[in-house]
């Protein structure tokens, strides 16, 4: 099997997430829409076969790569040998689990040189999507429902209105500010550490650049936020000082 060469140029988190998404789409297609064709190709009488998802959203059942070591981590070997010895649905679920493991290994292989925050961002993007197993087994991932205590300011996100007043919103209102879609809101990243939005944590928004930050990352407590008429993040504050100099 000839695989497309992997670019040696540096990749961003978004580049690798797209690669993951496209490979995942190919595998999901094999295990759902094209499942009859996939099942037929996995003949136990054939040699060790692997299921590959490619970066163009296609899939392929073939022998493992001949290179040693391979250019990318290898999928589970010999998926065809268990085909006739298992219930079809259980076998597809097993292949899905192994495929999830492979997709993650490829993504973090490509992002091996990322720093801690970049790895965290990559995993957060991946984790926002249902796994191949969840799709194949028709299981919807449970969405966390954090208990937001409206009386606890440390659990509230804080933003400033145009007149300088402190505006607080619980997780529901924060979702409305960024769109009612919870998944879309979960993609909000801290401007300091790159971590994903979590309604259980205190967040504060910069009135200049409109980026959001964990309160702990910018050393702002809920109590301190009450006294700030207009919040400027460290980057915006340093820019102002630089102009004055």
Q: What DSSP string describes 96-137?
A: HHHHHHHHHHHHHHHTTT--HHHHHHHHHHHHTSPPHHHHHT
Q: What is the pLDDT of residue 176?
A: 43
Residues 130, 220: one domain? Answer: no
Residues 134, 195: one domain? Answer: no
Assigned domain for 171 exists: no
| Those residues with Cβ within 8 angstroms of residue 197's Cβ, 6 or more apart along the chain or in another chain | 174, 185, 186, 187, 188, 189, 190, 203, 212
| Low-confidence stretches of the chain (pLDDT beneath 50) | 1-8, 141-182, 184-185, 244-245
Residues 29, 114: one domain? Answer: yes
Assigned domain for 95 exists: yes
Q: Looking at the 3D structure of the chain, how many domains does it have?
A: 2
According to DSSP, the residues that pair with 166 across neighbouring strands are 160
Residue at which a domain ends, from 120, 138, 156: 138
- Pinpoint the alpha helices (H) of the chain: 13-31, 35-41, 88-110, 116-127, 132-136, 171-177, 182-185, 222-226, 234-244
Q: What is the pLDDT of residue 189?
A: 82
Residue 102 belongs to domain spanning: 13-138
- Is the Cα torsion angle 150, 154, 160, 165 positive or negative in sign? positive
SS3 225: helix
Q: What is the pLDDT of residue 7?
A: 47
CA distance 36 to 96: 15
Residues 29, 123: one domain? Answer: yes
Q: What is the pLDDT of residue 233?
A: 86
What pTM was computed for the model? 0.56
**H or E segment and range at residue 59:** strand 59-62
Residues 131, 201: one domain? Answer: no
Q: What is the pLDDT of residue 10?
A: 55
Assigned domain for 26 exists: yes
Per residue in 76-112, pLDDT (tens digit) is 999 999 999 899 999 999 999 999 999 999 999 999 9
Residue pointed to by tokens 């996100």: 157
Residues 113, 206: one domain? Answer: no
Q: What is the pLDDT of residue 51?
A: 97
Cβ atoms within 10 Å of 111's Cβ, excluding its own: 22
């Amino acid at each position: 099997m000839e695989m497309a060469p992997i670019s040696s140029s540096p990749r961003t988190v978004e580049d690798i997430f797209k690669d993951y998404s496209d490979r995942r789409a190919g595998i999901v297609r094999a295990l759902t829409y094209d499942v009859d064709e996939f099942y037929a190709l996995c003949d136990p009488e054939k040699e060790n076969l692997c299921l590959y998802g490619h970066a163009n959203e296609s899939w392929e059942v073939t022998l493992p790569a001949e290179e040693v070591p391979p250019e990318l981590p290898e999928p589970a070997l010999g998926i065809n040998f268990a085909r006739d010895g298992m219930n079809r649905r259980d076998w597809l679920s097993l292949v899905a689990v192994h495929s999830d493991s492979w997709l993650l290994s490829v993504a973090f292989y490509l992002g091996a040189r990322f720093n801690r925050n970049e790895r965290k961002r990559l995993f957060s993007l991946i984790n926002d999507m249902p796994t191949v197993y969840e799709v194949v087994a028709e299981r919807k991932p449970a969405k966390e429902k954090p208990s937001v205590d409206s009386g606890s300011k440390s659990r509230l996100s804080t933003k400033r209105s145009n007149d300088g007043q402190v505006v607080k919103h619980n997780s529901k209102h924060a979702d409305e500010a960024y769109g009612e879609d919870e998944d879309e809101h979960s993609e909000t990243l801290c401007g300091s550490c790159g971590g994903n939005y979590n309604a259980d944590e205190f967040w504060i928004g910069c009135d200049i650049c409109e980026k959001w930050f964990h309160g702990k990352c910018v050393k702002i407590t809920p109590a301190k936020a009450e006294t700030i008429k207009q919040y400027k993040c460290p980057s915006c504050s340093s820019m102002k000082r630089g102009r004055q100099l």
